[in-house]
């Protein structure tokens, strides 16, 4: 799922808002709810944000991390880095990236070895199994 951009996958902001969003979701009436849901997802430990799909912020659930690890060689490594936005003491926002596969827990890396490439690809959305996700 994309965080808020338009693309080949649904996006979280429009899902929460229940409608298409024109412009920034921050200005949408559901902006506070979108922010809360996004923060809850990111704090859960079960979702990682990357730039996997078309360089846009892509939210990836833990259940597909092994599949992603198994076929990681099909994607530019910089697109697999975990992306996190932190707030500095001055109130500014700063993007921090954790390189792939450093952010992937050992259990998911081990599970990746149990998958065939075909099994891994079957768990990923079609936009990632063709060249369009690159």
Tell me: the pLDDT tens digits for 52-108? Answer: 999 999 999 999 999 999 999 999 999 999 999 877 788 788 899 999 999 999 999
What is the pLDDT at residue 132? Answer: 39
For position 128, what pLDDT does the model report? Answer: 92
* CB 96, CB 50: distance < 8 Å: no
Angle ∠(57,80,49) on CA atoms, nearest 5: 35
Residue 6: predicted pLDDT: 87
CA distance 31 to 52: 24
* pLDDT for residue 130: 77
Q: What is the pLDDT of residue 131?
A: 56
Strand partners for 18: none
Instruction: Write down the pTM of the prediction.
Output: 0.86
In whole angstroms, how far apart are CA 118 and each of 35, 61, 70, 124, 125? 36, 19, 10, 10, 13
Residue whose C-alpha is closest to residue 75's, from 118, 130, 116: 130
pLDDT tens string 5-59: 889 998 999 999 999 999 899 899 999 999 999 999 999 999 999 999 999 999 9
Nearest to 79 by CA among 51, 48, 47: 51
Q: Are 13 and 21 in contact (CB under 8 A)?
A: yes
Check if the beta carbon of residue 131 is closer than 8 Å to that of residue 54. no
Q: Name the CA radius of gyration of the chain, rounded.
A: 15
């Amino acid at each position: 799922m994309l965080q808020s951009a338009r693309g080949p996958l649904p996006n979280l902001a429009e899902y929460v808002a229940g409608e298409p969003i024109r412009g920034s979701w921050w200005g949408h009436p559901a902006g506070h709810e979108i922010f809360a849901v996004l923060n809850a997802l990111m704090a859960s430990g079960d979702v990682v944000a990357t730039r996997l799909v078309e360089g846009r912020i892509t939210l990836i659930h833990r259940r597909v991390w092994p599949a992603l690890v198994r076929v990681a060689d099909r994607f530019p490594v910089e697109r697999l880095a975990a992306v996190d936005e932190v707030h500095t003491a001055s109130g500014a926002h700063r993007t921090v990236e954790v390189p792939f596969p450093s952010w992937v827990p050992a259990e998911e890396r081990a599970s990746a070895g149990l998958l065939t490439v075909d099994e891994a690809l079957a768990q990923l959305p079609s936009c990632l199994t063709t060249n369009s996700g690159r």
